[in-house]
Amino acid sequence: MEYFDFPSAIVSMIRSAPVLMFAALAGLFAERSGVVDLGLEGKILASAFVSAAVGYTTQNPWLGVAAGVAVSVAIAMVQAFVSITQKGNQLVAGIAINIAMSGLTFVVAQYIFQQGGRTPDLGAARLSGIEFIGTEALADVPFLGWFWGKVLGGHSALVYLAFLLVPVVHWVVYHSRFGLRLRACGENPHAADAAGVSVERTRYLAMLIAGVLCSFSGAYLSIVQSGFFLRDMSAGAGYLALTALVFGNWRPLHTVLGCLMFGFFTAVQIQLEGKEFPVIGAIPGSLIQMIPYVVTVIVLAGLMAKSVAPKAVGKPFVKSR
């Protein structure tokens, strides 16, 4: 097909999915423990800015990533304090964090760099792709050259981390002691409490993990994908990650499939932008961008599959006496 370059769409899917994957897996820990994480967006944004700012200032991307982790964890702890200790409205806390971070990142970026709320280009401090051995030798071999050089190789370390995390998270959630407690706190916190599990501690720990995972999403966005921080650059990625979570029924493998699907749609949208088709003409990018959301609503309506959230999600745990 001349309209659509499938191999390059696959490659761009692999490159754009990690933003969603990190955030969705972060959301998975939070929500499986019973805390709604609507604040993914704000944490992504904060981490994207801090990673870029520190990465640029120190000219070391890894210091940037570390700083991003620190700030994202700090926000996650505020969120945990409000949601768990204060038993506040978790949805509101998340939205508040998103709005606050959208403003604060711009203000601080503008104050420090004076470039209209942007950070300078990271240049050499950007994380670059890892080229596999033998890429050049295979470059001209059909399929294999593409598969070895572009699908498997050529990505930055964070991409590999994202994909490695999938089986790890699956194992932690379903086969570890912590995972059992995590799921118990999200499904039936009173039973977990009766069994001697500290619901508060488990939820705090889950939020801590969520903070760390979510920060990679932001760092990936600024240090790998664009090479700078831009105002509101997360552009709904946090919400889309949540969508993938709903889509995947709060299960790690399915959620990641959802993320890959969204990544694929992004690639398709970029490729089809402005291309003229026979009969229907050009398909506007805005309509293609809509597809993941429409699909999710259909899933939510139970027409494709029934999505079942953890039972206690969003409900503050009040120990019964």
Partner 1 sequence: MKTTELPRWATGFVLPVLNLLSALLVAALVIHLLGESPVESMKILIDSAVVNPEGLGYTLFYASTFIFTGLAVSIAMKAGLFNIGAEGQMYFGGLGLTLAVLAFDATLSPWLLIPLAMLGSAVFGALWAFLPGYLQAKRGSHVVVTTIMFNFIAANLMNFIIVKALLPEGEQNPASRVFTDAAALPTLNAWFPVFGDSPLNIGFPIAILALVIYGVMVSRSSWGYQLRATGLNQHAAHYAGVRISRMIIVAMLISGALAGLAAVNSIMGSTHYLSLNFPAGAGFVGIAIALMGRQHPVGIFLSSVLFGALIQGGFDLSLEKPNIPVETFIFIQGLIILFCGAMENFYAKPLLKLINATRKG
* Neighbouring C-alpha atoms within 13 Å toward the C-beta of 109: 29
**Count of Cβ atoms closer than 10 Å to residue 78 Cβ:** 17
What's the min distance (Å) between Cβ of 94 and partner 1? 8
Segment interacting with partner 1 (CB under 8 A) among 19-27, 87-95, 118-126, 174-182? 87-95
Residue 88 engages partner 1 in binding (rule: CB under 8 A) = yes
What per-residue string of b and e applies to 81-110 under the rule 16 or more CB within 10 Å gives b? ebbbeeeeebeebbebbbebbbeebbeebe
Residue with smaller CB distance to partner 1, 137 or 298: 298
- Cβ closest to partner 1, residue 222 vs residue 243: 243
Q: Which long-range contacts (CB under 8 A, 24 or more apart) does 196-201 make?
A: 199/34, 199/317, 199/319, 200/84, 200/85, 200/317
Sequential DSSP letters for 107-124: HHHHHHH-SSS-PPP-GG
C-beta of 28 vs 165, nearer to partner 1: 28
CA-based nearest residue to 169, from 22, 18, 19, 14: 22
**Judged by CB under 8 A, does residue 23 bind partner 1?**
no
Q: Does 239 bind partner 1 (CB under 8 A)?
A: yes
Residue 8 vs 89, nearer CB to partner 1: 89
Q: Is residue 91 a contact point for partner 1 (CB under 8 A)? A: yes
CA distance 262 to 269: 10
CA dihedral 141, 144, 148, 150 (to 10 degrees): 80
Q: Check binding of 249 to partner 1 (CB under 8 A).
A: no
CB of 108 to partner 1, least distance (A): 8
Cα torsion 138, 269, 293, 35: sign: positive
- Using CA atoms, how far residue 315 sits from 68, 188, 193, in Å, is 29, 11, 15
Among the listed residues 89, 226, 249, 271, the single contact to partner 1 using CB under 8 A: 89
Give, in order, the Cα–Cα distances in Å from 181 to each of 173, 177, 203, 243: 9, 6, 10, 24
Site string for partner 1, 107-146 (x = CB under 8 A): x--xx-----x-----------------------------
Residue 286 or residue 320: which is nearer to partner 1 going by CB? 286
62 binds partner 1 (CB under 8 A): no
Using rule CB under 8 A, residue 104 touches partner 1: yes
| Smallest distance, partner 1 to C-beta of residue 50, A | 15
Residues 255-314, interacting with partner 1 (CB under 8 A) = 284, 286-287, 289-290, 293-294, 296-297, 300-302, 307, 309
CB 24 to partner 1: min, Å: 14
The CA R_g of the chain, rounded to the nearest whole Å, is: 20
* Residue from 236, 251, 254, 270 binding partner 1 (CB under 8 A): 236
Please give the size of the binding site for partner 1, defined by CB under 8 A: 46
Q: What residues make contact with partner 1 under the rule CB under 8 A? A: 38, 82-83, 86-93, 95-104, 106-107, 110-111, 117, 231, 236, 239, 242-243, 246, 284, 286-287, 289-290, 293-294, 296-297, 300-302, 307, 309
